[in-house]
Amino acid sequence: MNDDSDIYSQILREIQQSVLYFGIDADISRDMAGAITEKLRKLLSKHTVYFPEKPADRNAQIREAFNGCNREEVCEQFGISKATFYRAISERV
């Protein structure tokens, strides 16, 4: 199995489990998961998709990594700009 079909299968399972969680019938959840996954495949098949962490989680990690003197290293570690760095460390927790 190649990576593309593996990720497709993982997405299909995750969507189905998410739909089941809300009490939808197993047969309906399987059909919904298949339809959603197929729509995503068509929409995204020619693109590289990146799902970033939730900003709050990432910002907490940035604040934790920052020691007061290592802004450039933290920006490089997280692949962020100086402006994004300053927004992250100034965010109220």
pTM greater than 0.75 (yes/no): no
For 21, the domain range is 3-44
DSSP code string of 18-44: HHHHTT--HHHHHHHHHHHHHHHHHHH
- Residue 61 near residue 28 (C-beta atoms within 8 A): no
Count the domains in the chain: 2
Looking at the structure, tell me whether residues 12 and 33 fall in a common domain: yes
| Cα–Cα distance for residue pair 30/26, rounded to 1 Å | 6
| Cα–Cα distance for residue pair 16/20, rounded to 1 Å | 6
Question: Is residue 77 included in any domain, yes or no?
Answer: yes
- Identity of residue 7: I
Q: What is the pLDDT of residues 4-54, one digit of tens each?
A: 678 888 889 999 999 998 899 999 999 999 999 999 989 888 888 877 777
Residues found in the chain: 93
